[in-house]
């Protein structure tokens, strides 16, 4: 299982004081040195954390893979086609939300999503759809001609009991298996942390996890390289 780090909240901290520090680009380079497989950023319509300058510099400087999370809007699709990230992950975006609140509804937004994928494919950008672990959404994602899905793990992460977490993990496992069987790449993310990754790492059909908040929260206290090494140990060895 590969591990990409989402560095949005380095930019959240910077923007809290309209400062230039901490710099998410420096953080990305440090994260690469510490062993991550890729860097994830979400360029939001309101630019509340990552901004256009960050994206441009990241594209120039990082040597792993750049996964650009974004809404399927005309403006941001245009930016993606200029920037050429290694992957675009389409997510739903609401102005008032604190963070992405769930998977994209591919069924209700079919033509918007299919058109966005077709446009990005013209620029040879592979696309992932952030969706719930449900067979009908995966089927719609396949019809949209996506290359990857990213399974929303927020429900798993927020399960109040061990039993409910076990059931939700099983739902994710089945969804990943179904997607894999149909030739999709399978990523996962949202709410994954140092505790719940101990079970999650066992899902063999997940190619890559994208983790942000837990890493940055730990990094503030112990440093980013250490926070990344701690997560790599859990993913690789389970502790």
Using the minimum distance from each CB to ligand PXP, give the nearer residue, 11 or 62. 11
Among residues 42, 49, 137, 152, the one annotated as catalytic is 42
* Smallest separation, CB 128 to ligand PXP (Å): 9
DSSP code string of the chain: -EEEEE-HHHHHHHHHTT-S-S-HHHHHHHHHHHT-SEEEEE--TT-SSS-HHHHHHHHHH-SS-EEEEE-S-HHHHHHHHHH--SEEEE----TT-SS--S---TTTTHHHHHHHHHHHHHTT--EEEEE-S-HHHHHHHHHTT-SEEEEE-HHHHT-SSHHHHHHHHHHHHHHHHHHHHTT-EEEEESS--TTTHHHHTT-TT--EEEE-HHHHHHHHHH-HHHHHHHHHHHHHH--
Residues near ligand PXP (CB under 6 A): 6, 8, 42, 69, 89, 91, 99-100, 130, 150, 189-192, 210-214
Is position 69 annotated as part of the catalytic site? yes
Among residues 69, 93, 132, 168, the one annotated as catalytic is 69
Is position 190 annotated as part of the catalytic site? yes
* Smallest separation, CB 5 to ligand PXP (Å): 9
Among residues 93, 152, 190, 208, the one annotated as catalytic is 190
* Smallest separation, CB 132 to ligand PXP (Å): 12
Is position 137 annotated as part of the catalytic site? no
Using the minimum distance from each CB to ligand PXP, give the nearer residue, 1 or 122. 1
> Which of the residues are catalytic?
42, 69, 190
């Amino acid at each position: 299982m590969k591990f990409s780090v989402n560095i949005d909240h380095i930019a959240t901290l910077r923007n809290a004081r309209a400062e230039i520090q901490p710099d998410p680009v420096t953080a990305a380079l440090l994260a690469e040195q510490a062993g991550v497989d890729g860097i994830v950023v979400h360029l939001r319509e309101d630019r509340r954390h990552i901004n256009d300058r960050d994206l441009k510099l990241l594209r120039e400087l990082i040597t792993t893979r750049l996964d650009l999370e974004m809404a399927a809007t005309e403006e941001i699709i245009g930016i993606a086609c200029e920037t050429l990230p290694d992957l675009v992950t389409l997510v739903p975006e609401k102005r008032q939300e604190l963070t992405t609140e769930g998977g994209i509804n591919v069924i209700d937004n079919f033509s918007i999503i299919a058109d966005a994928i077709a446009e990005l494919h013209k620029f040879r950008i592979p696309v992932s759809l952030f969706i719930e672990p449900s067979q009908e959404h995966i089927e719609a994602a396949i019809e949209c001609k996506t290359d990857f899905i990213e399974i929303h793990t927020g429900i798993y992460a927020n399960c109040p009991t061990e039993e409910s977490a076990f059931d939700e993990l099983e739902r994710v496992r089945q969804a990943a298996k179904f997607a894999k069987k149909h030739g999709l790449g399978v990523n996962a993310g949202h709410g994954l942390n140092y505790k719940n990754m101990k079970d999650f790492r066992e899902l063999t059909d997940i190619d890559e996890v994208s983790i942000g908040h837990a890493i940055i929260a730990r990094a503030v206290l112990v440093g980013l390289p250490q926070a990344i090494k701690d997560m790599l140990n859990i993913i690789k060895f389970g502790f």
